[in-house]
Amino acid sequence: MSNIAVSRQPTFRTFMLSTHAAKVLLLLGDLFALSLAFFLGRMGYWVWNGTSFMELSTAFVEWWGNKGELRSLLFVLLSGIAIAWFLAFGHYSQRRPFWDELQQILKVIVTLAIIDAALGFVGKWEFSRAWMISTWLLALLLIPLIRVQIKKALIRLGGWVRPTVVIGAGQNARDAAAALWSEPLLGFDVIGFLAVAPKPGENANALPEYMEVNGHRIPVIILGDDPELTLERLGNPHVVVALNFRASYENQELLQRLSLRHHDINIVPPISGLPLMGMEVTHFFRHEVLLLRVRNNLSRSGAQFLKRSFDVITSGLLLLLLSPVIGFIIWQIRREDAGPAFLRQERVGRNGQLFKCLKFRSMVENADEVLAQWLQERPEIREEYSRNFKLKNDPRVTRVGKWIRATSLDELPQLWNVFIGEMSLVGPRPLLARELPDYGDSINMYKEARPGITGVWQVSGRSETTFTDRINLDAWYVKNWCLWYDIVVLLKTVQVVLARKGAY
């Protein structure tokens, strides 16, 4: 075990001062973003209508005289409501993962935009609808963008970084630390694991000196009989409790002491493997009992209808918008070797039904024969292929195929599979029939959802992930589905495709 040393991290007083400053900066940043959205929306409207730079002052005077003052006052009022709403959500006092915070920002902005439009309609005010829409769209873009930049600047200055210890030294503690490291904008800097002191007769040397988490080597420290003293010597860091089931039960007195001393701690209950999205919490009067309601979202008919409606509308629009790109790729493939442009592979769909999954052909026509020969002649290739059924330097891929694979454009025809109901925009990776036994007990969960063009595995390393990783990610997606996560995966897919990371 690591010896306790006095932390060089900021003191609690310094930390509190910097936290207060961060709250003020984030609030001012939101006010600036809303003001900038209002200004750019108005300027954009004038520029769009051909107003020259010299005419802007005249245009402003005319606008101000034509209910411009009322329009400005209304936007100030709505901006105040937005800030109050963000305060109620705890955006300036609590730390949330980026996508959860963005979902709440979206809810606030959309609601206020509807109120803005309704007031203009009821009041019969004459103003540009395009300006109103562009203003709120800019607000939706600028608020999270400016928040991210403020947090990054604070992290560089050390003002947003919050020294954190994880109480626990088991798998639950390791998972908690990995989750905190995965969201750097949260600012939680895990400086140590605090292990509960071994009971009499237990081997203290069984605890490791360090734990490796996402490339970080974090020391394991004995909490000791006086946890308050241990935390004080570490600089009073933020506390995250992530004990395993047995340790949580055996150390209830410790948890009570911590909750009395530290009014802002996080608890990571050991419930991995359960559906977390949509979990409902119930409290009982006079009883220290927490009732969790767990349900599989995709098993509900309402959720299935919502997901299917989103797939049909979005895939139909994308087929129309991307039809020129699809036509160009067809021409390039046939130009290279005069072979067919499409490849139809039999995959396993929802409820175990087989369907023909469409892709642009990215390999030579005798691909199976070429692969069989390579696997027979080169053992190192056979070993690489056995890990995730992919090859980094695949000899079967054509020149055009390398390009459409790197950009994931080879999967565009699957939009048709989505439109007719065989696939989904987001879902588990489409499986070959021979891969079903490798899924083990998770195969029943896989069959609950339509396979997706993209999915959690696609934005978590793509071809660099192992087959086991993909099984776990597919299971996580099915258990924790919500429409917002589908939107997040689609946005992350665009980012991953543009970066061309892990694609081959």
Given a contact cutoff of 8 angstroms between Cβ atoms, the answer to whether 146 and 33 are in contact is: yes
Per residue in 27-45, pLDDT (tens digit) is 999 999 999 998 888 776 6
Q: Per-residue pLDDT averaged across 2-21, rounded?
A: 50
Q: Which residues pair with 195 in a beta bridge?
A: 222
**CA–CA separation, 389 vs 427, rounded Å?**
19
Q: Are residues 194 and 62 in the same domain?
A: no
Query: For residue 250, is it within any domain?
Result: yes
Q: Are residues 134 and 23 in the same domain?
A: yes
Query: For residue 72, is it within any domain?
Result: yes
Asked whether the predicted pLDDT for residue 503 surpasses 60, the reply is no
Using pLDDT thresholds of 50, 70 and 90, give the confidence band for residue 26: very high
Q: What pLDDT was estimated at residue 385?
A: 61
Q: Which residues pair with 166 in a beta bridge?
A: 193, 240
Q: Are residues 317 and 351 in the same domain?
A: yes
Q: Are residues 231 and 346 in the same domain?
A: no
Give this prediction's pTM. 0.78
- Supply the range of the domain harboring residue 124: 12-157
175: domain CATH number is 3.40.50.720
**CA–CA separation, 321 vs 325, rounded Å?**
9
Using pLDDT thresholds of 50, 70 and 90, give the confidence band for residue 59: low
How many percent of the chain have pLDDT more than 70?
A: 80
Q: Are residues 473 and 408 in the same domain?
A: yes
Asked whether the predicted pLDDT for residue 256 surpasses 70, the reply is yes
Q: Are residues 268 and 305 in the same domain?
A: no
Given a contact cutoff of 8 angstroms between Cβ atoms, the answer to whether 389 and 463 are in contact is: no
Residues 6 or more apart whose CB falls under 8 angstroms from that of 303 comprise 297, 481, 482
Domain boundary among 157, 175, 201: 157
Per residue in 302-357, pLDDT (tens digit) is 888 999 999 999 999 999 999 999 999 999 998 888 788 898 989 998 888 999 99
Using pLDDT thresholds of 50, 70 and 90, give the confidence band for residue 246: confident
Mean pLDDT of all residues in the chain?
82
Q: Are residues 247 and 177 in the same domain?
A: yes
For residue 75, CA distances in Å to 31, 33, 102, 430 come to 11, 13, 21, 48
Q: What pLDDT was estimated at residue 315?
A: 96
Given a contact cutoff of 8 angstroms between Cβ atoms, the answer to whether 463 and 388 are in contact is: yes
Using pLDDT thresholds of 50, 70 and 90, give the confidence band for residue 50: low
Backbone angles phi, psi at 145, to 5 degrees: -65, -45
Per residue in 396-430, pLDDT (tens digit) is 778 888 888 888 888 999 999 999 999 999 998 88
Q: What pLDDT was estimated at residue 501?
A: 60
Given a contact cutoff of 8 angstroms between Cβ atoms, the answer to whether 293 and 283 are in contact is: no
Distance of CA 308 to the CA centre of its chain: 21
> Kindly report the CA angle at 239 between 235 and 243, in degrees rounded to 5?
135
Q: What pLDDT was estimated at residue 64?
A: 61
Q: Are residues 477 and 334 in the same domain?
A: yes
In the numeric block, the tokens 């105040």 are attached to 80
Higher pLDDT, 369 or 258: 258
**CA–CA separation, 209 vs 221, rounded Å?**
8
338: amino acid identity, one letter: A
The token pair that represents 13 in the structure block? 């007083």
> Kindly report the CA angle at 243 between 240 and 244, in degrees rounded to 5?
150
Helix, strand, coil abundance in the chain, percent, nearest 5: 60, 15, 30
Higher pLDDT, 142 or 2: 142
